[in-house]
């Protein structure tokens, strides 16, 4: 138990040193430029029979690492191994799992892309998919420093629309490829949000001005299309996340927002 805990501290120290060294140098050069992405944190480790087993995959040996993430920054976590089928889990500062992955890194490697909603110490759980597997691995954490600028929707006569594509190069929300939108809603008004696509099974999230998810929907529209009907509890800038049910699909879609109780 002590060994496992000390290894977590080593990764934290390495991560903090990498982030601080990068940001400190940038601040000395200029205060106008945005900080460059921090250096990658790389850990060469090994799963052994002496490791504790994961609390979710209870038959899999697991090593855990604590890593400080900053609100609004996007991180890529890779687990690579030639010895076993890699599996990753990420837990938030409260200890709740926020995302897990098996083979998104290609072959049998795992990859998680995650945008931290809050600053804090997150836990990376590195293990094998198959229970009892052991062997060497490489864990890589990258700060992608992707500044996501939502697409601003401007309502005219209570309606707004957008047609575009979800692509492999798009940002991820909870490891799902998506397009992010911002729209101003008025308190007390009811709005209908539709995502229509012939390319994939649509999925929608509505996020309030305080950052909380207010609603989400899979097939509330016709067929595999999504629909959210929401009465705004307060005026302000709301976010809409347009994605697919699996989160991995790409293709064209149309997003529409209309006020259903026009003045």
The last residue of one of the domains, among 143, 161, 190, is 143
Q: If you search the block for the tokens 């696509």, which residue do you land on?
A: 197
Tokens of 22: 């990068």
pLDDT band at 263 (very low <50, low <70, confident <90, very high): low
Quote the tokens at residue 166: 């979800």
Length of the chain: 263
Is the pLDDT score of 4 beyond 70? no
18 and 121 assigned to the same domain: yes
Same domain, 112 and 205: no
The reply to whether 136 and 9 lie within a common domain is yes
18 & 116 share domain:
yes
Express each pLDDT in 24-51 by its tens digit. Answer: 333 333 334 444 556 789 999 999 999 9
CATH of the domain at 129: 2.60.120.380
pTM of the model: 0.52
In this structure, are strands 172-173 and 202-207 parallel, antiparallel, or unpaired?
A: unpaired
The edge-to-edge listing of strands for the beta sheet with 62-69 is 62-69, 120-128, 86-91, 97-101
Retrieve residue 192's tokens.
Answer: 């209908």
157: left (phi over 0), alpha (psi -120 to 50) or beta: left
Kindly report the average pLDDT of the chain as a whole number: 84
pLDDT of residue 220: 93
Residues 219 and 194 both lie in one domain = yes
- Which of 82, 111, 143 represents a domain boundary (last residue)? 143
- 69 with 139, same domain: the answer is yes
Return the pLDDT at 176. Answer: 83
Range of the domain at 220: 151-259
Q: Which two tokens stand for residue 85?
A: 């089928």
Tell me: pLDDT of 14 over 80: no
SS3 22: helix
Q: How many domains does the chain have?
A: 2
């Amino acid at each position: 138990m002590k060994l496992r805990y000390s290894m977590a501290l080593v990764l934290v120290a390495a991560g903090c040193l990498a982030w601080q060294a990068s940001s400190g140098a940038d601040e000395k050069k200029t205060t106008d430029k945005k900080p460059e992405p921090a250096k990658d944190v790389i850990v060469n480790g090994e799963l052994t029979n002496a490791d504790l087993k994961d609390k979710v995959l209870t038959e899999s040996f697991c090593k855990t690492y604590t890593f400080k993430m900053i609100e609004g920054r996007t991180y890529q976590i890779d687990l690579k191994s030639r010895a076993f089928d890699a599996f990753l889990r990420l837990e938030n500062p409260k200890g709740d799992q926020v995302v897990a992955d098996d083979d998104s890194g290609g072959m049998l490697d795992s990859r998680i892309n995650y945008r931290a909603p809050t600053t804090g110490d997150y836990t990376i759980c590195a293990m094998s998919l198959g229970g009892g597997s052991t062997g060497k691995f490489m864990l890589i954490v990258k700060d992608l420093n992707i500044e996501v600028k939502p697409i601003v929707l401007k309502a005219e006569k209570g309606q707004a629309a957008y047609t575009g594509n979800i692509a492999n190069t798009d940002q991820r929300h909870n490891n799902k490829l998506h397009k992010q939108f911002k729209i101003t809603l008025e308190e007390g008004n009811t709005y209908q949000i539709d995502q229509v696509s012939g390319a994939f099974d649509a999925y929608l999230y509505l996020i309030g001005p305080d950052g909380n998810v207010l609603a989400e929907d899979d097939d509330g529209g016709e067929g595999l299309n999504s629909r959210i009907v929401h009465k705004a509890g307060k005026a302000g800038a709301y976010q809409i996340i347009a994605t697919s049910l699996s989160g991995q699909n790409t293709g064209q879609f149309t997003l529409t927002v209309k006020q259903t109780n026009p003045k």
